[in-house]
């Protein structure tokens, strides 16, 4: 039987400890050619302008692990646009109507090709990104790091802080996002969830004062972690490259990239049809600053490259979006746990088979 697992069922069973364990193993396997992520740059996006400075975007990525015995494909279908707000342009997206989204993971057995599960990606998406940042922080943040500065107050900001609190003894976090109600809600919820002191601050420059780990988890279309915000001994990680301007990247002593490529876009229409996008959007969102000479996360966790070698170093995990291997690892663990708990809806596997060879 093929198991259909929704977001709430995934939320009930999947833990950050599970994600950290499975992803650390998956990246070691990637370094040793026992796993793969495709495309190598992380993700393929197809863009179609649909009018009113809105764009249909279909994104897909894949990954497989021989040790885990699975292949996964994740895809998402979005209408995207970039409205102007008080602090500049931000990304907004939806499927069908605002507040609704379509992201699915197909999980297959590599041993017989069976479709094991179809999963909504909502909770898994946030957990796999936050956990990967946590894996990197475990190798790169100072051992005595106790504080976090967080830009952003959405789902990614929640899983990033949860992951940091798993790999370091975090005592407090300072959070800033432009909307006061959002940052105050985040502070209250995360204080209660993690039993640490989370403080909502009123300006971006306050976020990094005296903090050991700094993370960007925003929808901003402009850089947010400026050079004056980072100092010796910090560990810094953006959720997307555009959060770090080149001048900030130049300050880092150690940079580890998520991968050595970057997402790749395919475009319908003429250049002028993309005038609604922020200047330099594709370079800053897909690849960021050229640090292709830097080791990857797989190199780091496998011991092929060093991370931090002194407490004074300013380190960065440079997240370039997209890894199908993340979805293979985390979707498998979600599937295992859902089966154990008797969750999900069973669908006949025969529905997805045919007797005509393609």
| Full pLDDT tens readout for the chain, 358 residues | 999 999 999 999 999 999 999 999 999 999 999 999 988 777 889 999 999 889 999 999 999 999 999 999 999 999 998 887 766 777 789 999 999 999 999 999 999 999 999 999 999 999 999 999 999 999 999 999 999 999 999 999 999 999 999 999 999 999 999 999 999 999 999 999 999 999 999 999 999 999 999 999 998 878 899 999 999 999 999 998 889 999 999 999 999 998 877 778 888 998 888 877 766 566 545 555 666 678 999 999 999 999 999 999 999 999 887 789 999 999 999 999 999 999 999 999 999 999 998 8
Torsion angles phi and psi, residue 166, rounded to 5:
-80, -30
- ∠ CA 286-287-291, rounded to 5°: 165
Strands 70-81 and 102-109: antiparallel
Q: Quick one: pLDDT at residue 139? A: 96
Torsion angles phi and psi, residue 137, rounded to 5:
-65, -30
Q: Quick one: pLDDT at residue 90? A: 77
CA pair distance 159, 130, nearest whole angstrom? 5
Burial (0-12, 13-18, 19+ Cβ within 10 Å), 94: middle
CA pair distance 52, 350, nearest whole angstrom? 43
- Separation in Å, CA 222 to CA 91, 98, 122, 218: 10, 23, 25, 10
Segments of 17-69 assigned E as strands? 35-38, 44-51, 54-65
Q: Quick one: pLDDT at residue 289? A: 63
Q: Quick one: pLDDT at residue 82? A: 83
Burial (0-12, 13-18, 19+ Cβ within 10 Å), 351: exposed
Give the residue among 314, 333, 236, 249 at the shortest CA–CA distance from 284.
249
Q: Quick one: pLDDT at residue 322? A: 77
Domains present along the chain, CATH in parentheses:
2-124+323-352 (3.30.1780.10), 130-318 (3.40.50.720)
Q: Quick one: pLDDT at residue 281? A: 62
Q: Quick one: pLDDT at residue 280? A: 59
Does residue 145 have a cis bond before it (omega within 30 degrees)? no
Q: Quick one: pLDDT at residue 260? A: 75
Q: Quick one: pLDDT at residue 278? A: 67
Find the radius of gyration of the CA atoms of the chain: 20
Q: Quick one: pLDDT at residue 222? A: 82
């Amino acid at each position: 039987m093929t198991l259909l697992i929704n977001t709430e069922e995934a939320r009930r069973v999947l833990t950050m400890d599970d994600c950290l364990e499975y992803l650390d193993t998956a990246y070691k396997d990637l370094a040793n050619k026992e796993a793969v992520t495709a495309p190598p740059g992380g993700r393929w996006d197809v863009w179609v302008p649909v009018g009113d400075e809105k764009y249909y975007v279909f994104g897909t990525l894949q990954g497989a692990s021989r040790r885990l015995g699975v292949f996964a494909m994740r895809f998402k279908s979005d209408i995207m646009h970039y409205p102007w707000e008080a602090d500049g342009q931000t990304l907004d997206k939806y499927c069908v109507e605002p507040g609704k989204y379509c992201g699915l993971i197909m999980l297959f057995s590599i041993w017989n090709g069976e479709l094991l599960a179809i999963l909504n990606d909502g909770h898994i998406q946030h957990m796999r990104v936050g956990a990967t940042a946590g894996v990197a922080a475990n190798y790169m943040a100072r051992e005595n790091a106790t504080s976090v500065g967080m830009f952003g107050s959405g789902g990614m900001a929640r899983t990033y802080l949860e992951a940091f609190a798993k790999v370091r003894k975090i005592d407090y976090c300072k959070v800033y996002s432009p909307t006061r109600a959002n940052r105050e809600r985040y502070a209250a919820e995360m204080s209660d969830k993690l039993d640490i002191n989370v403080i909502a601050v009123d300006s971006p420059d306050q976020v990094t004062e005296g903090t050991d780990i700094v993370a960007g988890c925003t929808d901003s279309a402009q850089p947010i972690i400026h050079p004056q915000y980072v100092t010796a001994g910090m560990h810094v990680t953006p959720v997307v490259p555009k959060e770090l301007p080149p001048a900030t990247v130049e300050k880092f002593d150690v940079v580890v990239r998520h991968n050595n490529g970057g997402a790749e876009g395919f475009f319908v229409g003429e250049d002028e049809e993309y005038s609604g996008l922020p200047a330099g959007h594709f370079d800053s969102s897909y690849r960021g600053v050229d640090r292709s000479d830097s080791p990857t996360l797989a190199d780091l966790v496998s011991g092929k490259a060093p991370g931090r070698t002194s407490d004074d170093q300013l380190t960065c995990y440079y997240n370039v979006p997209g890894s199908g291997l993340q979805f293979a690892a985390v979707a498998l663990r979600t599937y295992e746990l859902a089966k154990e708990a008797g969750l999900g809806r069973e669908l006949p596997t025969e529905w997805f088979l045919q007797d005509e060879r393609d």
